[in-house]
């Protein structure tokens, strides 16, 4: 997922929920997603990367805002395989 698309997905998800993310939070989640995709060798625009982005947004929306906790959740997440 390129950084523009990742930002757009985050803005879209949060605009639908009425939650506004600061640029720092978007940057943190973008970095976590990039790290996660590199560790798992996912293409940035793959279905797995999109699932991971959705997971990040969901956890964040539900109150998980700590970077290390989000990293742990991503590491333990199970995503679909194309």
Q: Assess if residue 82 is contained within a domain.
A: no
Read off the pLDDT of each residue in 17-31 and give the average, rounded to a whole number. Answer: 82
pLDDT exceeds 50 at position 71: yes
For the chain, what is the domain count?
1
**CB burial of residue 52 (10 Å; 0-12, 13-18, 19+):** buried
User: What pLDDT is recorded for position 63?
Assistant: 87
Distance (Å, rounded) from C-alpha 6 to C-alpha 32?
11
pLDDT exceeds 80 at position 2: no
Distance (Å, rounded) from C-alpha 59 to C-alpha 4?
21
Quote the domain boundaries for residue 18: 3-75
User: What pLDDT is recorded for position 79?
Assistant: 57
CB 64 within 8 A of CB 73: yes
Q: Assess if residue 28 is contained within a domain.
A: yes
pLDDT tens track for 48-63: 999 999 999 999 888 8
Q: What is the CA radius of gyration of the chain?
A: 12
User: What pLDDT is recorded for position 15?
Assistant: 47
User: What pLDDT is recorded for position 22?
Assistant: 84
Mean pLDDT of the chain: 80
pTM over 0.75: no
């Amino acid at each position: 997922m390129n950084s523009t698309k990742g930002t757009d997905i985050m803005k879209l998800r949060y605009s639908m929920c009425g939650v506004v993310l600061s640029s720092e939070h978007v940057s943190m989640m973008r970095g976590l997603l990039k790290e996660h995709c590199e560790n798992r060798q996912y293409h940035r625009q793959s279905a797995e990367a999109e699932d991971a982005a959705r997971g990040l947004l969901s956890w964040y929306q539900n109150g998980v805002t700590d970077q290390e906790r989000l990293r742990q959740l991503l590491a333990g997440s199970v995503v679909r395989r194309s």
